[in-house]
Amino acid sequence: MRYPTTPLPSFKIFREKCGDTYQLFTGPKGWSLVSERADIIDHILRINNKNYNKSPIVSELLARYIGQGLLTIDGEFWRKQRKLIQPGFSRERLANLVNSIDEEAKNWVNALPRNEAVNIYDTTLPLAMQIMAKVLFTDKISAEQLHTIAYSVELGQLQFAKDLRQPLLSFWRKLTNTRAAAHAETKKAVDILLTQIQHHRDHPKKYTDLLQMLIDARYADGSKMPDAQLIDEVLVLILAGHETTAITLACTLHLLAQHPEWQTKVREEWQQVIGDGPIEAGSLRQLPVLTAVINEGLRLYPPAYLVSRIAIGDDEVGGVKIRAGQMIILNIYGAHRNEINFDTPATFDPSRYLDRRTTTNFAFGAGSRMCVGYHLAMMELQITIGRLLAATTSVKTQQTSLEFSASATLRPVGGVWMRLQNDDKTLKHSL
Ligand code: HEM
């Protein structure tokens, strides 16, 4: 009864009592299999992924508020959409966006206060949304319009979280029409997106952004994506892409603030590879230390901390039997902190990825349904963390741990506090 409202502490208790793989009663659909074993997660997400669909938590509940986009659909429909959308997220295609992301990163770093406590999570959310707007729409969107879209996605997510936490009250919410507010906001967001689509269609040569790519893309039979589908896909990209990146940025900076020795290593690498000048897309591939730090941040704080599936047919993995129709909850947060999968799992140690002692990391999922925005997210994280560290001499924190709320993502509550300093007068690269 308690786990939907306090997932992290509840799953910790379950593991202590039942081990790393067990059955959990999850309501009308009966018993779900929960696991934090890396071999089971890998089997379900990658090796035998054909036997698993998205669970109804995503394909029905989340889709009710966010629509039928890549994240929430399955089968042939998903395959067709993924084929169309994936090329837009390739490294080559994203190379065009490096300068736009860098510009936003610099504005963010410049606006951050120095030598006083700042709740960095309050700043990474608008930053990630702003970057998403640039990536999707170039600059054709006002702050107010952006706010309307962000608010609509947020309301949809809140309703989703409520339905997930208190399914029995779902009927009451329907009766009292609390969902109407979320639907009204979605309508406003849809109108803004329709205007964006029209503007892009009228001036196709002006844009190289993701929306233009989606508008120009054609299915195998030469047909284009219908507007309603285009809108669902854009809303899903905003939902899946902006909060996850904002959380990772804030949590990784928290870890760096606790480990000054890794700040120094990242600063040195950045100075050597990029320095003060513009960023070449190719140079982002020459940042092994920063990349390992981000991977370690994602290991300790994976924003998509639970991934769920439903089995199509019977299956067996590592001695565990799975029934057709059974729900499966993969506890990514638990797996990333379990000593069966990692040495000293609670320790922040990016060198485990640097010297390839491990490559295990499920923060972006795995297999064919692995995050389509992986390269974009990594690029955003590299540029924002790199620029922030390059413009400061130290980032400090007295916060020893982070608190999270129960939501679709691992949302920090009470803030992610730190203090940025650049009291070194010899620092040349003011941004
Ligand atoms: C640190 C940032 C991010 C993390 C940790 C993350 C995590 C994930 C995970 C775990 C999945 C797989 C879910 C599953 O298998 O059920 C996923 C899928 C997805 N992500 Fe991300 N994501 C991030 C950033 C982004 C960005 C920037 C975008 C796009 C702008 C994006 C768009 C998507 C989409 C559309 C899917 C569904 C893909 C499919 O099913 O084909 N994500 N993400």
Residue 429 has pLDDT above 70, yes or no: no
Of 159-168, 363-372, 412-421, the one with minimum mean pLDDT is 159-168
CA distances from 26 to 1, 29, 305 (A): 8, 7, 17
Residue 328 has pLDDT above 60, yes or no: yes
- Residue 350 resides in a domain: no
Please tell me the distance between residue 73's alpha carbon and the centre of ligand 1 in angstroms: 13
Of 42-46, 183-187, 200-204, 228-232, the one with minimum mean pLDDT is 183-187
**Average per-residue pLDDT for the chain:** 90
- Residue 216 resides in a domain: yes
Residue 83 has pLDDT above 70, yes or no: yes
359: three-class secondary structure by DSSP: coil
Q: Per-residue pLDDT tens for 7-34?
A: 888 999 999 999 999 999 887 778 999 9
* Confidence (pLDDT) at 405: 87
Residue 430 has pLDDT above 50, yes or no: no
Mean pLDDT to the nearest integer, 181-208? 86
Q: Say yes or no: CB of residue 308 within 6 Å of ligand 1.
A: no
Angle at 427 between CA 423 and CA 431, to 5 degrees: 105
* Contacts (Cβ under 8 Å, ≥6 apart) of 392: 114, 420, 421, 422
- Residue 381 resides in a domain: yes
- Residue 148 resides in a domain: yes
- Residue 238 resides in a domain: yes
The pLDDT > 70 percentage for the chain reads: 94
Residue closest to 371 by CA, chosen among 276, 282, 284, 248: 248
> Which residues span the domain enclosing 180?
56-305+369-421
* Confidence (pLDDT) at 168: 60
Residue closest to 267 by CA, chosen among 371, 357, 387: 387
The pLDDT > 90 percentage for the chain reads: 71
Q: What is the Cα–Cα distance from 115 to 107, expressed in whole angstroms?
A: 18
Going by pLDDT thresholds of 50, 70 and 90, the confidence category of residue 93 is: confident
Residue 5 has pLDDT above 60, yes or no: yes
The tally of CA atoms less than 13 A away on the side-chain side of residue 66 is 32
* Contacts (Cβ under 8 Å, ≥6 apart) of 22: 14, 33, 34
Please tell me the distance between residue 372's alpha carbon and the centre of ligand 1 in angstroms: 6
- Residue 313 resides in a domain: no
Going by pLDDT thresholds of 50, 70 and 90, the confidence category of residue 427 is: very low
Q: Per-residue pLDDT tens for 361-371?
A: 999 999 999 99
* Confidence (pLDDT) at 166: 64
Q: Say yes or no: CB of residue 303 within 6 Å of ligand 1.
A: yes
Domains in the chain: how many in total?
A: 1
* Contacts (Cβ under 8 Å, ≥6 apart) of 182: 65, 152, 155, 156, 158, 159
Amino acid letter for position 214: L
Strand spans (E) along 269-334 = 306-311, 315-317, 320-322, 327-331
Q: Name which residue sits closest to atom 30 of ligand 1, judged by CA.
A: 241
Q: Say yes or no: CB of residue 376 within 6 Å of ligand 1.
A: yes
Q: Name which residue sits closest to atom 12 of ligand 1, judged by CA.
A: 365
Q: Per-residue pLDDT tens for 56-76?
A: 888 888 888 788 999 999 999
Going by pLDDT thresholds of 50, 70 and 90, the confidence category of residue 162 is: confident
* Confidence (pLDDT) at 396: 96
- Residue 358 resides in a domain: no
Asked if residue 8 lies in contact with residue 333, where contact means CB atoms within 8 angstroms, the answer is yes
- Residue 428 resides in a domain: no
* Confidence (pLDDT) at 77: 94
CATH of the domain at 384: 1.10.630.10
25: three-class secondary structure by DSSP: strand
The full length of the chain comes to: 431
